[in-house]
Amino acid sequence: MNQTTQDSKQVALVTGAAQGLGKAIAQSLFNAGFAVVITDANEAGAAETAREIDATAERVLALKLDVLLKTDFEAALHASIERFGKVSALVNNAAMTPTTPVMEISPEEFDKVVSVNLRGTFFGCQVFGQYFADNGYGRIVNMASLAGQNGGTASGAHYASTKGAILTMTKIFARQLAESKVTVNAVAPGPMDLPSVRELVPAERLEQIINDMIPVKELGNADFVADMVTKLAGPDASFVTGAAWDVNGGIFMR
């Protein structure tokens, strides 16, 4: 691929993209024509996902990125520019989703969840936000959660708290970067039909959530959420910023 072709493409970097919703987002972006940088703390997992999405490796790049390290974001940005000539969108998806009961959360677990979910999102917004502002264009999509709006249905208090904070952080960066033609939005999914959700939530509890708490009586479609993220990551999303896009089956209405 020559440099001119690379520069004409939209290029998105996704954190926590080795599996689950992050993988679905990477696939959706790729299907929409983006070059996709698939990052994860699990380097082998990121590489496997990249091979699954594009065996030719023409429009994918797999990188190790530990969101606890600001230097990893900086290195990933540099490597992405080296490969594709630019980055036009960032999806902050990486997160821990423990379900530990609130009175049993240890200080160590609390700090780890806050660091991965909240500090990791902050570093992504900071590093890529500055790059986008310097170039006069960019899209940031932060993965929040219904848990950050209603206190959670099955997730841990520390997880829900970080996702609520991400909603506020999204507004802060949206206001900071708007004049530089950089938009920052959040997507707040409810319970998704994903293997990770079924692993975390006991089957009986999940069935109760579907029947008693979700008005539409079904789990969310990860591919639909991924397509929503892709829309917000594209050039046409210039007039929406600082917003939280709800996909929760009617659990939380406003």
For CA atoms 118, 120, 122, 128, give the dihedral sign. negative
Measure the CA–CA gap between 166 and 169, rounded to whole angstroms.
5
Q: Which of 75, 2, 80 is nearest to 37 (CA)?
A: 80
Q: Which of 70, 58, 79 is nearest to 13 (CA)?
A: 79
Tokens of 212: 């008693």
Write phi, then psi, for 250 (nearest 5 degrees): 90, 5
Question: Do 173 and 140 meet the contact criterion of CB atoms below 8 Å apart?
Answer: yes
Q: Which of 159, 166, 170, 182 is catalytic?
A: 159
Residue 131 falls in the annotated catalytic set: no
Enzyme catalytic residues = 159
